[in-house]
Amino acid sequence: MTDQQIISQVEIYKLRIPLIEPFITSLAHETHVENVIVVTRTENGITGFGECSPYMPVNGESIDTCFIVGQYFARLLKGKNALKLEEQLAAMDNLIYGNTSIKSAFDIALHDIIGQHQEVPLYKLYRGKNNKKLVTDYTVSLDKPLKMAADAVKIKNQGYPAIKVKLGDTGRKDIERIRMIREAVGKNIPLRIDANQGWTVKEAIETLQALDKYDIEHCEEPIAKWNFMRLRKVKKNSPIPIMADESCGDAHDAERLLKLKACDMFNIKVGKAGGVFNAYEIVKLGDKAKMQMQVGAFLESRLGMTASAHLALCSDNIVHCDFDTPLMFSEDIVSNGLTYHANGVMEVPDAPGLGASIEQWRLDTLEKVVI
């Protein structure tokens, strides 16, 4: 077997798909998915697929910035050996700072090529095992309390094992939202909350203490990510476990949070970390600290979500998956890949590489650039 997979062509596509209903958080109101697909082809005929879902309030990227920066990366990587993963990731980092979303799409495509070359599924590249049941929660968007309670009942009736609730409006209103949701769904289904940085430190502590009686599993990112030095105070005074999300972008962030003892858990996202490789660096830190972790996502289709699912198989300490967004799409354009089943259960493909793709005829309908 050759030890080279030379990149001969890179295609970058803009993917826009309406959501079934608006997805609302304290940071944004989204009606459409605006993602970027990266297709990387090698001289030996292997095709790698990647996807990112840029989110301007978190990573400062948009579909347009990813489309442009992706062209820099395509020119950089063309003619390079896709099997030298760390070398190519370092080259992208040396070319431009940040831009973790579009970097993650290229990272996924490279992993897809490497997995196909080695004839193993992506998770095996990190000594993962497809031996645990992955289950996703489902999210209630931020809205008026009555609407959120009704949405929570629908989610419960659909059989999902846990409900995630977007908060971060004001503490007083958020308490009312959770009160109404808990009354509507009863006591037997777990509730998880995500403030998306929406509260002040004082407000977070007061709100979390008030929410304790509603049996909340954990709270994601209660305060602004730049205020991470105060997150330890929130954690210390909260009866609800604190999960770092926006403040935990990469392994440097994760190491800092651990040293500060600022959180109980990590929410790891491939698009936030800059790819599977960097996301796994966070997993290793969490494993060493014996910390429970969640793998989450932005608004990826089943293509990008498949990469996240492979990551979730790489540690027994990854106990939560937040993979519901593909179910919110009005159209599914992905072939193979992660599949969804009753009660939130998901299955990860054992095909070589990523195991997910998009048929060429569908790609041909999208705005694209070929390098």
Q: Is 166 a catalytic residue?
A: yes
Beta strands (DSSP E) in the chain are 7-24, 29-42, 47-52, 134-135, 138-140, 163-166, 191-194, 216-220, 242-244, 265-269, 293-296, 318-321, 335-336, 339-340, 345-347, 356-357, 368-370
Domain 7-120+358-370 class, CATH top level:
alpha beta
Q: Is 84 a catalytic residue?
A: no
Q: Is 3 a catalytic residue?
A: no
Q: How far apart are CA 88 and CA 260, in angstroms?
A: 32
Q: Is 194 a catalytic residue?
A: yes
Sheet holding 339-340, edge to edge: 134-135, 345-347, 339-340
Active-site position among 103, 124, 156, 166: 166
CATH, domain 125-357, list 2.40.100.10, 3.10.20.30, 1.20.58.2050, 3.20.20.120: 3.20.20.120
Ranges of residues in the chain whose predicted pLDDT is under 70: 1-2
Q: Where in the chain is the domain with CATH 3.30.390.10?
A: 7-120+358-370
Active-site position among 269, 281, 300, 322: 269
Q: How far is CA 331 from CA 274, 302, 326, 339, in A?
A: 26, 11, 9, 15
- pLDDT tens-digit map of 340-357: 999 999 999 999 999 999
Q: How far apart are CA 96 and CA 170, in angstroms?
A: 37
Tokens standing for residue 117: 């070359």
User: How is residue 339 annotated by DSSP?
Assistant: E
Contact 36, 105 (CB under 8 A): yes
pLDDT score at 182: 98
Active-site position among 107, 220, 221, 253: 220
pLDDT score at 1: 54
Q: Is 288 a catalytic residue?
A: no
pLDDT score at 367: 98
Q: Where in the chain is the domain with CATH 3.20.20.120?
A: 125-357
- pLDDT tens-digit map of 260-297: 999 999 999 999 999 999 999 999 999 999 999 999 99
